[in-house]
Structure 1
């Protein structure tokens, strides 16, 4: 089973355990709202463009609201089974849905009080590091200083190069770096660099 598939199953179990009205790290979304988002992204190609394109956001909201009104068990089943056979996402699920499933799994877990990080295998952390490298430049493109992402074993990628010579380094496990790159603040990271520059990076809009 691919990591994307395992994270999908973990997401469903976390949603079921938390309940439909529990909070998530996705702004004001409840678990029900997050489940509806996943379903629309994978099963409503007519509405999914609204996730990234503002002119279509209104239609997306209407569709997602309707989907969210379904019985919660039915929503979870659609999340669990993933993209339908006709979806272009299905053949590439292991690639395009890995970050999506991992981040949303943690969106549910880390919205709970006293959350604890999971212990992932070294192989899974390596897989997530490849995702960090792929999206780092997009996530930190608005940074006013140079941003470097570093793992505890010394792997490093420059996410943003800026003039001025000021460098902020974020150090942590690939899983934590990936969550931060996706705009999440409930992460375990070490920072180094000028204090004001560090604060600017931590406060950055990292939406992609």
Structure 2
């Protein structure tokens, strides 16, 4: 059975072929070409990665991304589709799933929901939804660690997750499909279909917080 990160990579590349290089993404001002270039640099150019964290090296990273973004579209998409070079640990399917499944899922949604409309654009399989919920179970406390309020995640057919303990400001309950909850956890709440329960100040505090890994 093909592992999920590989399937999500293929699905993203199929979407990129359809949208073309100039389509908007949720990572504005990035276009689809910029996002594809980011994915290629992430996998193939570790020498440029320090530019993400070191301001003095940011221009080198930007130049590298611009070089890839300027490639013919079919060539750029093929670089994303073909995956990492032979020396990359993500050639191993378990490592690939751990490192790339969520990365490709989030960026696929960045393309699918680039028009900023709310709600799913595709129906995920139970296998995919289960994997995303597992990610939330494992990393939810990290994603929501900077929330000033308690946070409980709920999705149909599964136990609730307390990803942040209650604070003096109270607790917010966020309910939705695993895909929508993960988007919210990565700062894409504006396009996620969610039911939110909690006091007005508590909800505002949650959504104003810098969620995610950054």
| TM-score, reference length from structure 1 | 0.92
Matched positions, count: 208
CA deviations on 1:1-51 (whole Å, 9 max, x unpaired) are 111111111111111111101000112100000000000000001012333
- Report the Cα distance in structure 1 between the residues aligned to 2:103 and 2:54, rounded to whole angstroms: 18
- Say if 2:175 and 2:195, in contact at 8 Å, map to a contact too: yes
Structure 1 gaps, min length 5:
none
- Report the Cα distance in structure 2 between the residues aligned to 1:110 and 1:205, rounded to whole angstroms: 21
Distance 1:49 1:89, change over 3 A: farther
- Report the Cα distance in structure 1 between the residues aligned to 2:116 and 2:212, rounded to whole angstroms: 24
Alignment of 1:97-136 (within 5 A): 97-112=100-115, 116-136=120-140
The alpha carbon displacement at 1:126 in A equals 0.7
| TM-score, reference length from structure 2 | 0.89
The alpha carbon displacement at 1:75 in A equals 0.7
Distance 1:65 1:106, change over 3 A: same
Q: 1:200 aligns with which of 193, 196, 205?
A: 205
- Say if 2:116 and 2:191, in contact at 8 Å, map to a contact too: no
Q: Does 1:13 align with 2:14?
A: yes
- Report the Cα distance in structure 2 between the residues aligned to 1:71 and 1:26, rounded to whole angstroms: 21
- Report the Cα distance in structure 2 between the residues aligned to 1:53 and 1:123, rounded to whole angstroms: 38
CA deviations on 1:76-111 (whole Å, 9 max, x unpaired) are 001001111111232221221000111111110111
Question: SS in structure 2 opposite 1:159?
Answer: strand
Q: 2:180 aligns with which of 147, 157, 176?
A: 176
CA deviations on 1:169-190 (whole Å, 9 max, x unpaired) are 1111111111111111211111
Structure 2 gaps, min length 5:
none
The alpha carbon displacement at 1:54 in A equals 4.7
- Report the Cα distance in structure 1 between the residues aligned to 2:184 and 2:209, rounded to whole angstroms: 10
Q: Which residue of 2 aligns with 1:77?
A: 78
